Structure formats: structure tokens, C-alpha cells
Amino acid sequence: ATPTALMVGTGRGAQLGILIKGPEVLESTRRVDTVVLDKTGTVTTGRMTLHEVYAGEGTDEEEVLRLAGAVEHASEHPVARAVAAGAEERVGTLPGVEDFGNVPGRGVRGRVEGREVVVGRLHDDLPPGVARARDEAERGGRTAVVVGWDGAARGVVAVADTVRETSAEAVTELRRLGLTPVLLTGDNRRVAESVARAVGIDEVIAEVLPEEKVAVVERLRREGRAVAMVGDGVNDAAALATADLGLAMGTGTDAAIEAGDLTLVRGDLRVAADAIRLSRRTLSTIK
Ligand code: ADP
Ligand code: MG
């Protein structure tokens, strides 16, 4: 590979909206045969909104929203932002939270109005009504978050975001380049499968904890696959660094952008296919 041709590739990349860390990055895309796509914020917009609210016995929707919203207010997670914003809109100013704690890929906890509130996928035993509300929301393709306090699960709030308009076309283009797409997410399997169906992905790896994403990429590589990973979140950073080629969404977190080899500036997944096509073309002119 002559440095000049690689520099030309880099310049063309910038025109397409691809920031390349260094010319040598183009080399690693040559063998790539699998593209792992993070779900939230990558295949979907990551801008979630609040949908239904369920309140079990002894409480009401207003209380579930107020307590959940208060704790989520302290978190930056897309799910948390949707719950906090939706709660504020529906019930007004939220109370403060003390002793806030974040459990990555699972949820949050904190003390609100003297109650120990837990929000997310952190409850073991769900009363039948809560379990039913959660299952129903998930069957509808939404992310269900269980809300509990003082040791019991008491309600559910469901959030959802939308698949990016360009994602289905991007998957088609990636396939055309001979790549196998895989959807990887910490979210529940039913939501993941409904998103996968919408964009034409057959292989789904769901309910993966943030620290396990890197292990999934490592496993695929051990199986002999050359892996490109596209992600946006703090929880994608290690996987982006481990993949043969890491592509960060320009709309994502700084951690992802720092870990990636390439940045898709506009957050348009179709540009991932452009990036791979460009580097293959650049390398073949060099040969
Ligand atoms: P993804 O891999 O799709 O980017 P994450 O690994 O960040 O998702 O989160 C996985 C799941 O953990 C979420 O879908 C949600 O169910 C739960 N979760 C994570 N953070 C929170 C939070 N702050 N509040 C409620 N639930 C959360
Ligand atoms: Mg994400």
C-alpha cells in the first residue's frame, strides 16, 4: 500500500462523512466479513420516548412515574432520559434523589421521599400484574423498565425509540458487500428481534451486559470471523477497540469515538457500507 493512495482514500472518506484515525486503518477493513451492529443509538435513533405506565396494587401511575423519574433524572442513559422527561411532562417537577447509584446495563437506584427506589432490570421476583405488563410492552417492541421500592416491584414504565430511516438500506448494502450483519444489544430479546426483523438482520445477540459486548466480539474472532463493530455508547467502547475495525457513530459518546478506528460523522449507518467499499477500492488500486 503506497502512502499516497491511502491518503487519497482518507481524503475521499472525509468527503463522504467518514473520519479516519489514520491511513493504516483502511488496511484492516480488507478481510472484514461480519458486521456487529449495536442496537440503541446505532440501528435506532437512541432518542427514546415514554409509552405506557403500569401501576400495581397499592400505588398509582403518578407515583410510579414520580419515583422512577426522580431516580432516572440522575442518569444519562437513553432509557433514563426518556423516563425522566416523560415523568416530568406528565407529573410535573420531580423530587430530588439521594444516594444515587448506577448499575451499568441494568438500571439505577436511589432514595426518593424516604423510599429506596430501584429502576430497571434489577428485580428478581415480579408480582403477576407487573410481569404481565412487562411482557406485554416487550411483545410490542418496547423496552420495559420495572419500578420498585422498599423491596418490592410495583410498576412498569415502557420506553421505545425508532429505527433510523437509513438502517434497513444500510443492512442491504452491507450484505451486498458480502458481510453478515449481527445485532448486539443489552436490551431484551423481544425488542432486539423486532428491530432485527425491521432492518433485515437474522443473527441477534441480546441481553448482553456492557462488559460482555467485548467478549462477544472476541468469540466471533476466535471462530475465525473478521469483525467490524458499529456502536455509539460508552458500553460499546471496549468492543469497538477489540474489533478488527471499530466504527463509531458521530452522534454517539466521546468514549465510542475515541475507541473507534473510523467515525461516521452524520450517524448514518449507510456510510458504514461506504467506508468498507472505499477502503476496498483504495486498496485494490494500490495493488
Ligand atoms: P444497549 O446495548 O442497547 O445500548 P444497555 O446495555 O445500555 O443497552 O442497556 C441494556 C438494558 O438495561 C436497557 O435496555 C434497560 O432495560 C436496562 N437499563 C440500562 N440502564 C438503565 C437505566 N438507567 N434505567 C432503566 N433501565 C436501564
Ligand atoms: Mg448504543
**38 classed as catalytic:** yes
Residue 217 has pLDDT above 90, yes or no: yes
Dump pLDDT digits (tens) for 90-142: 999 999 999 999 999 899 999 999 999 999 999 999 999 999 999 999 998 89
Dump pLDDT digits (tens) for 76-88: 899 999 999 999 9
Looking at the structure, do residues 184 and 274 belong to the same domain, yes or no? Answer: yes
Looking at the structure, do residues 172 and 248 belong to the same domain, yes or no? Answer: yes
Looking at the structure, do residues 190 and 219 belong to the same domain, yes or no? Answer: yes
Looking at the structure, do residues 85 and 12 belong to the same domain, yes or no? Answer: no
Looking at the structure, do residues 109 and 125 belong to the same domain, yes or no? Answer: yes
CA distance 21 to 30: 16
Q: What is the CATH number of the domain that holds 268?
A: 3.40.50.1000
Dump pLDDT digits (tens) for 184-197: 999 999 999 999 99
In this prediction the pTM is 0.87
Write out residues with Cβ below 6 Å of ligand 1.
Answer: 38-40, 72, 75, 77, 79-80, 105-108, 119-121, 143, 145, 185-187, 210, 233, 235
- Rounded to the nearest angstrom, the distance between the alpha carbon of 111 and the centre of ligand 1 is 20
Dihedrals φ, ψ of 103, to 5°? -110, 100
Looking at the structure, do residues 66 and 7 belong to the same domain, yes or no? Answer: no
The arithmetic mean of pLDDT across residues 238-244, rounded, is 96
Looking at the structure, do residues 170 and 35 belong to the same domain, yes or no? Answer: yes
Q: What is the CATH number of the domain that holds 57?
A: 3.40.1110.10
Dump pLDDT digits (tens) for 47-74: 999 999 999 999 999 999 999 999 999 9
Which one from 38, 232, 236, 261 is the annotated catalytic residue?
38
Residue 240 has pLDDT above 80, yes or no: yes
Ligand 1, atom nearest to 187 Cα: 14
Average of per-residue pLDDT values in the chain: 93
Looking at the structure, do residues 168 and 261 belong to the same domain, yes or no? Answer: yes
With a CB cutoff of 8 Å and minimum separation 6, the contacts of 94 are: 66, 69, 70, 73, 84, 87, 88
The arithmetic mean of pLDDT across residues 198-211, rounded, is 96
For the chain, how many structural domains are there in total? Answer: 2
The arithmetic mean of pLDDT across residues 258-285, rounded, is 87
Looking at the structure, do residues 111 and 240 belong to the same domain, yes or no? Answer: no
Looking at the structure, do residues 192 and 242 belong to the same domain, yes or no? Answer: yes
Domain boundary among 96, 128, 160: 160
Domain of residue 152: give its range: 49-160
More confident residue, 281 or 53: 53
Half-sphere exposure of 175 (CA within 13 A, CB side): 13
**Strand partners of residue 264:** 18, 249
Domain boundary among 143, 160, 177: 160
Q: If you count DSSP H runs as helices and E runs as strands, how many of each does the chain have, helices first?
A: 11, 13
Ligand 1, atom nearest to 41 Cα: 4
- pLDDT of 283 reads 65
Residue 1 has pLDDT above 60, yes or no: no
- Rounded to the nearest angstrom, the distance between the alpha carbon of 79 and the centre of ligand 1 is 6
Domain boundary among 137, 160, 183: 160
Dump pLDDT digits (tens) for 15-36: 889 998 877 777 777 789 999 9
Looking at the structure, do residues 67 and 121 belong to the same domain, yes or no? Answer: yes
Looking at the structure, do residues 89 and 12 belong to the same domain, yes or no? Answer: no
Question: Residue 217 burial (CB < 10 Å; 0-12/13-18/19+)?
Answer: buried
Residue 172 has pLDDT above 50, yes or no: yes
